[in-house]
Structure formats: C-alpha cells, structure tokens
Amino acid sequence: MNHPKIAFIGAGSVVFTQGLLADLFALPELTGAHIALHDIDPGRLSTAHAAATYIAEQRRAKHATITAHPERREALAAADFVIDIVQIGMGEATRTDFDVPARHGLRQTIGDTLGIGGIFRALRTFPFLKALGEDMSELCPDAWLLNYTNPMAMNVQYVTAATGLTRVVGLCHSVYWTMQDLAHLVDVPYEEITYRAAGVNHQAWVLRFEHEGRDLYPALDELIASDDQLRRRVRMDMYRRLGHYPTETSEHSSEYVPWYLHHDSEIERLRLPIGAYLGIVEENTAEYDRTREALAAGKPLTVEGTMEYAPQIIHSITTGTSRTVYGNVPNHGLIDNLPAHGVVEVPCLVDAAGIQPTRIGALPPQLAALNRTYLSTADLVVRAALEDEPRHIRHAAMTDPATAATLPVERIWDLCDDMVRAHGDRLQPGLRALLGS
C-alpha cells in the first residue's frame, strides 16, 4: 500500500491540526503517511511541526514523515490530499467582522457562515482559494481538497467555479455531533440509531431519526413538551415549527433566519449569546499559547481524537474501506428543489473510487425555502468575486435574512462600505469600491 502525502494548509491552526493528526495516526494504515505542514506564520508553523512530531511518537507512528514548509508550493508538490484549515486575517479580521456591524446595530453570534461576518470572511478568503486551486492544478492535479474553512458553502462553490477543481469536498462536524446529542437526549446509544440529514452547511435537516425501525421524533417531542428549558433553544423552536431538526447549534442557527436576533425578547427567551465567537477566538489563542509553552518546556500534550471526517476519508480512499460521511458538494441534482449550482450537505459514500454523494430527492418545501434563501445569499457573494462586481456584495447583504430584518437598505449599503474600508487590501482589488447608500 502506498503511503499518502497529506498537505495541511494553515497548519498553524495548531489545536485543530493536533486533533486531525491524532485521528490519522490512530488508523494503522496511515501511520506511514507523509504529513507536509504549511503556514505563513513561522512561529505557528514551528509549533505545529513540534506538535505533529510529538503526536506521531505518542501514536507510535514511527514510519511517518513530517515536514514543515514556509512555502505552500513545497507542501503541495505531489500531495494526495490537501486539508485547508486557513483563516485569513485571523482574530483581528474576526473582531472587525463583529465590531463594525455592531456599530450599525447589527447583532451576530458566530458570524462565519452567512450575515455580514460570513460575507466578508468569504470575500477575504477567495483570493487565497484561487491561488491554492491554481497551485493544486499544477502540482497535485489528482489530489482531493478537503476544506474545513468557513463559510463552507461559499468557499466550495467559489473554488470549484474559479479553478475548475472537481475533487473538492467541504467537511464539517455538525451533523455528527447533532446526532450524538439527539441520541443522548432520547437515551438511545448513538451506535444504534439510523439517520439521514440533508440541506446546506449549518442548516441541514434531520430527515430520518430512528432506532430499530422506530421513529425517534415522537420521543423528542415528549421531552420538549415536558422541559421548558429545552424549549428555550433556537433549534428546538425551529424544529417545533418546521417539523425537522436543524444540524447546527442554536447560536449558529439564529443567524440564518430573520426571526430571532432583531428582537430583544427573543434573545432573552432563547438565551442567545451575542458575539459568542469572539470568546471562542480568545480561547483558541490561549490554547495555542498553552500548546507552544508545553512543547517548549518538554511537558506532555493531551492527544485526543476528534472523529473528524478528513482522516476517515483519507483512510477509505487509500485502503478501499467503505464509509459514509457527510460532505458539502455542488448540488448538480442531489437535492431537487435547491439550485443546481449551490453547495449542499448530503451523505457521501467514500471508498477507493473517491467521494460519491447521495441523491436525496426533494426536501420538504418549508426546509427548501429556507435553504434557497441561504444559497441565494451565498451565490451573490461568489458572483461578486467571479464577476468582480462590488454591487453584488450589497445585493448579498440585502438578501441575508438577519441583516435585512435589522437594517433599512441604505444602512446596509453604508455598512458594506464600512466593511470594505475595514478589510482593505484583504479583498480583491475590484471589490474595494465604495458605493454609498
């Protein structure tokens, strides 16, 4: 068996890199893999290299090759798999995504998928994705791009349209952990449930939830009816009204619809933490600092698996072991009542033939209606970059549910101008125009 070369682009996201490597090296067939680490930050790259070497030793992956590359092209050369975990602008850009909209009265909780935060996170990521795709087309044209970088649907749609890459899948743990949580709630072991989910990233829907052929939704209904604290969660509220459970947290889910963040009473009723992601950013930075200090002092690191999909996909393609994972891929008829060019999240069979998405058919109409709005916003952001059309940035913000529910249209345009000013040269040149209200 050939040992794959796996390039980690953005390996300086050290905590996430550690978790993926712990999963990879827990699979015996991958303990001889070549791990090529790249990051533009020398300090983070050095820390990632030291952490990867430590994890390989702990997992007894003595045949693994671990290399660190300040230059991306070196890491990509002859790679079989490319894992994208890049965050353009890091914490500074994330704070901008929250602070500038807040001055306009716009509330966000996570800001990485839709909304003003998601729109501008995408726009500053697209130039990197185009360069990455062009490098891959030259240096590793047969490699699979496994993207973890948000906003997932926008990034996957853009990189496939802008570069022509076809071996691309976006990966997210939301379906897996949602089903773990639901199984726990109804007191059935996760290993015994049968489920199917589909939709778009962070707004997919649990279409099937069963145990030995028995529908488990009635058990969930009973719990919700008897527990007023459960009813104080956004996705429980959405489930009660829409009939299917959404696959992301309440903090995330509140941002993709117009009903919650604009209303003080709903924020209180549903206990929504405004600006929650800024706390996550601070904790990630603190965790990185702890890891760096532990490695420098020769102290042990905690090596824990994460159950992420990328190591499972690499193992399945490398060994021919069949698995089902959830992936984000261009629709192309997988979900009948969503746009063909949009990116959808569906179960995918993975084996030696690669990643093969499952055709779902039609979603219930109320679910498809929400997903279509999401994909409309995403499409306008992608078109802004592909067509170098700054007006489409404003059009995307106008269609975004939470933004449109909060601000009049002239304020939306003013906000977009302020965000363009704030992010400056992180955007492609043609999108830096200020258009006014």
Output the pLDDT for position 356: 97
pLDDT tens digits along 192-232 = 999 999 999 999 999 999 999 999 999 999 999 999 999 99
Enter the DSSP assignment of 361. B
Q: What is the pTM of this model?
A: 0.95
- Is residue 302 predicted with pLDDT exceeding 90? no
Output the pLDDT for position 373: 97
Residue 9 and residue 38 in contact, taking contact as beta carbons nearer than 8 Å = yes
**What percent of the chain has a predicted confidence (pLDDT) above 70?**
100
What token pair was written down for 282?
């601070």
Q: Dihedral of the CA atoms 186, 256, 144, 316 (nearest 10)?
A: 10
Average pLDDT over residues 266-271: 92
Give catalytic status of residue 173 as yes or no. Answer: yes
- Is residue 274 predicted with pLDDT exceeding 90? no
- Is residue 87 predicted with pLDDT exceeding 70? yes
Q: To which residue do tokens 């760096």 refer?
A: 292
- Is residue 61 predicted with pLDDT exceeding 90? no
Output the pLDDT for position 278: 81
Output the pLDDT for position 304: 77
Report d(CA 202, CA 402) in Å as an integer.
Answer: 15
Residue 280: which residues within 8 A CB-CB, separation 6 or more?
Answer: none
Q: Return the number of other C-beta atoms located less than 10 Å from residue 240's C-beta.
A: 13
Mean pLDDT score across all residues of the chain? 94
pLDDT tens digits along 1-57 = 579 999 999 988 877 888 899 999 999 999 999 999 999 999 999 999 998 999 998
- Is residue 354 predicted with pLDDT exceeding 60? yes
* pLDDT range class, residue 292, cuts 50, 70, 90: confident
pLDDT tens digits along 98-115 = 999 999 999 999 999 999
Output the pLDDT for position 285: 81
Domains annotated on the chain, with CATH: 5-172+300-318 (3.40.50.720)
* pLDDT range class, residue 62, cuts 50, 70, 90: confident
- Is residue 175 predicted with pLDDT exceeding 60? yes
Residue 61 and residue 25 in contact, taking contact as beta carbons nearer than 8 Å = yes
Output the pLDDT for position 437: 63
Report d(CA 80, CA 76) in Å as an integer.
Answer: 9
Residue 323: which residues within 8 A CB-CB, separation 6 or more?
Answer: 312, 313, 315, 316, 349, 350, 351
Average pLDDT over residues 263-287: 86
Determine which one of 173, 211, 263, 341 is catalytic. 173
What token pair was written down for 50?
């030291």
- Is residue 325 predicted with pLDDT exceeding 90? yes
Q: Are strands 214-215 and 203-211 parallel, antiparallel or unpaired?
A: antiparallel
